[in-house]
Amino acid sequence: MDALFAPWRMSYILGPKEKGCVFCIPENPENDAASFILARGRLCFVIMNRYPYTNGHLMVAPLRHVADLTELSDDESVEAMFWLSTSLTALRNSLRPDGVNIGLNLGEAAGAGIKEHLHFHLVPRWNGDTSFMSVCARTRIIPEDLPETFAKLAPLMASHVPHP
């Protein structure tokens, strides 16, 4: 039997579960750090993925609850692109990935885990990040905990304000 030690999971298992859409964030930014929200704009925000594919996995989502790219206003589309670009720069400057996958899954068949609220993924990648654990054990290794990654990225995002 294989065992994977992940003590951080216990707080999730025993803790309160969010009701409703996880991308419909509270208007009050008071708990942003605890929620791993890195930046808020007028129409969109940047949040760390609590269950990342790789270290530094970020998501950009509109504040408004919309499911499809065609439902975004022109202003929301522009601001989403601003935050994607800003997030990419922050990832490159802090985690120094060799590449970054940026994507959007529309609908369950396309792999959207939360299909009701549009969100873009930024997944940093490093040469060699698919090790024997991924190939043989089908297990990803995340080498740094979320609060530590948040502390690296937050200062880089704090100074950015989207264009009006």
Q: What percent of the chain has pLDDT over 70?
A: 85
Instruction: Report how many helices (DSSP H) and strands (DSSP E) the chain contains, helices first.
Output: 4, 5
Q: Is 128 part of any domain? A: yes
Q: Is 84 part of any domain? A: yes
**Average pLDDT of the chain, as a whole number:** 86
Q: Distance between CA atoms of 12 and 55, rounded to whole angstroms? A: 18
The pLDDT-based confidence of 74 (bands split at 50, 70, 90) is very high
Q: Is 24 part of any domain? A: no
The pLDDT-based confidence of 137 (bands split at 50, 70, 90) is low
Q: Is 124 part of any domain? A: yes
Q: Is 14 part of any domain? A: no
Q: Is 95 part of any domain? A: yes
Domain range for 154: 32-158
pLDDT at 16: 75
Q: Is 7 part of any domain? A: no
Q: Which of 146, 153, 150 has its CA nearest to residue 50?
A: 146
- Whether the predicted model's global pTM rises above the 0.85 cut: no
Judged against a pLDDT cut of 70, whether residue 8 lies above it is answered with no
Count of domains observed in the chain: 1
Name the catalytic one among 119, 121, 160, 163: 119
Beta strands in the chain (DSSP E): 37-40, 44-48, 58-62, 99-104, 120-125
**Annotated catalytic residue 119:** yes
Q: Is 92 part of any domain? A: yes
The pLDDT-based confidence of 164 (bands split at 50, 70, 90) is very low
Strand order through the sheet with 37-40: 37-40, 44-48, 58-62, 120-125, 99-104
Q: What is the mean pLDDT of residues 100-104?
A: 95
User: Residue 160, by phi and psi: left (phi above 0), alpha (psi -120 to 50) or beta?
Assistant: beta
The CATH number of residue 40's host domain is: 3.30.428.10
pLDDT at 10: 77
